[in-house]
């Protein structure tokens, strides 16, 4: 336990806060009680290390997880189009005007969203793609506990824009959106939001950025010799490591061009690499192959390896010949372009690659280089993976 009373139960509470948008008392009463009991040490640590606010309400607890740098993987995985986000936000505005337990029809919400939608051309519920966007947005609102279905089936809306569903608003709708440091209407772009939230103390601001990068991103890449955040990680790695291990289940790993957190015993709510997907095996094999071919594909000063799409496809073809019997049928039968696209998408999500489709260049980032793997020598003795 540290001087602020941060004990093992506080470690558990912090980990829960970091991995859930919020914790509702109605769904997780034990977690809610645990966090309320550890409120003081949690607030102190989150304020000093992350510069983040912890909101504790009789019915829920919520940590405002504001990233140092917004990244693509931080979006809502179920959303497929920008329209999904726009409809989601319009629906949030609709719910903010509703009292807890107030009931309303789907048609009321659709009409309100149509009126509030800010862009041209507007929403047309006779269009299938617009109805599907609404369905994805409303399902996510229900996942967050912002409304309940009383009667009807939302799934039928994709076939008929006249389909009715009766909903009931919950008490959480008005608390979902976080507060902002300034009026959003006074800003010209979203990039101004992080600038408005910087701590006036540059040392505190850097510490907050570093902790947010380490905890909220798969890894932190060194951005040139003048990267003050990465210098901070390297220069204070001992102090950072002690703090992280004392207050969380993670360990700090620092390499020349990348740093990240690892966990020895992942919990169910953790998202870890390699993930329980076949793509994870292929990414580890790819990294191992690149290590063997450093003369052919030498890393640059930043630790990244540059490949053309053709070189990437050729490498996949050679890997298929060696490891293919251990791949799933999906990857064994996939075209080189299809397999490449899937792996690159996954690697981008894990901060392991960048891709420039316009010139066909792929940049394998340092984080991919420190993780490698392969099958055991006797893997060919078994049957093919289905």
pLDDT tens for 260-292 read: 999 998 888 898 988 778 888 899 999 999 999
Categorize the per-residue pLDDT at 1 as very low, low, confident or very high, splitting at 50, 70 and 90: low
Q: What is the mean pLDDT of residues 97-102?
A: 92
∠ CA 80-87-197, nearest 5°, is: 90
- The residues of the chain that CATH labels 1.10.10 are 74-175, 278-381
pLDDT tens by residue, 197-242 = 777 888 999 999 999 999 999 999 998 877 899 999 999 999 999 9
Asked if 354 contacts 363 with a C-beta cutoff of 8 angstroms, the reply is yes
Whole-number Å distance between alpha carbons of 340 and 348: 12
CA atoms within a 13 Å half-sphere pointing along the CA-CB vector of 129 = 6
pLDDT tens by residue, 117-146 = 988 889 999 999 999 999 999 999 999 999
Whole-number Å distance between alpha carbons of 123 and 125: 6
pLDDT tens by residue, 31-60 = 999 999 999 999 999 999 999 999 999 999
Query: Which region among 110-119, 162-171, 180-189, 247-256 has the lowest average model confidence (pLDDT)?
Result: 180-189
Higher pLDDT, 194 or 186: 186
Whole-number Å distance between alpha carbons of 9 and 21: 20
Q: Which residues are CB-contacts of 98 (< 8 A; sequence separation ≥ 6)?
A: 104, 169, 173
Give 74-175's CATH code, choosing from 3.40.50, 1.25.40, 2.60.40, 1.10.10: 1.10.10
From residue 154, alpha-carbon distances to 107, 129, 249, 386 in Å are: 11, 15, 40, 35
Q: The whole model's pTM is what?
A: 0.88
The CATH class of 278-381 is: mainly alpha
Categorize the per-residue pLDDT at 195 as very low, low, confident or very high, splitting at 50, 70 and 90: confident
């Amino acid at each position: 336990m540290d001087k602020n009373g941060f004990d093992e139960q506080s470690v558990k509470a912090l980990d829960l806060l970091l991995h859930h948008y919020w914790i509702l008392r109605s769904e997780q009463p034990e977690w809610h009680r645990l966090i309320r009991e550890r409120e003081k040490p949690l607030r102190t640590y989150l304020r000093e290390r992350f510069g983040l606010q912890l909101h504790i309400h009789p019915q829920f607890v919520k940590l405002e997880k504001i990233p140092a740098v917004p990244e693509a993987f931080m979006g809502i995985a179920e959303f497929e189009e920008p329209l999904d986000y726009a409809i989601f936000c319009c629906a949030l505005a609709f719910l903010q005007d509703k009292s807890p337990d107030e009931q309303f029809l789907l048609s009321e919400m659709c009409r309100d969203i149509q009126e509030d939608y800010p862009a041209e051309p507007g929403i047309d519920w006779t269009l299938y793609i617009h109805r599907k966007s609404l369905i994805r947005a409303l399902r996510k609102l229900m996942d967050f506990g912002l409304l309940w279905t009383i009667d009807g089936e939302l799934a039928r809306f994709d076939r008929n824009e006249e389909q009715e569903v009766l909903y009931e608003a919950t008490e959480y709708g008005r608390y979902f959106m976080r507060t902002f440091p300034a009026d959003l209407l006074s800003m010209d772009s979203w990039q101004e939001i992080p600038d408005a939230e910087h701590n006036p103390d540059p040392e505190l601001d850097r510490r907050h950025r570093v902790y947010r990068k380490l905890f909220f991103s798969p890894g932190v890449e060194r951005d040139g010799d003048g990267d003050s955040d990465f210098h901070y990680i390297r220069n204070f790695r001992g102090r950072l490591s002690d703090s992280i291990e004392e207050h969380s289940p993670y360990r700090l790993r620092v390499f020349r061009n990348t740093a990240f957190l690892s966990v020895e015993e992942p919990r169910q709510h953790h998202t870890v690499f390699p993930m329980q997907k076949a793509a994870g095996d292929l990414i580890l094999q790819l990294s191992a192959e690149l290590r063997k071919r450093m003369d052919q594909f030498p890393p640059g000063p930043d630790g990244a390896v540059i490949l053309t799409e053709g070189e990437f496809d050729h490498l996949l073809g050679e890997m298929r010949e060696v490891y293919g019997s251990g791949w799933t049928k999906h990857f064994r039968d996939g075209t080189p372009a299809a397999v490449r696209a899937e792996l690159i998408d996954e690697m981008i999500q894990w901060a392991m690659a960048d891709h420039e489709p316009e010139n066909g260049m792929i940049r394998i980032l340092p984080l991919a280089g420190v993780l490698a793997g392969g099958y055991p020598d006797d893997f060919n003795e078994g049957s093919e993976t289905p």
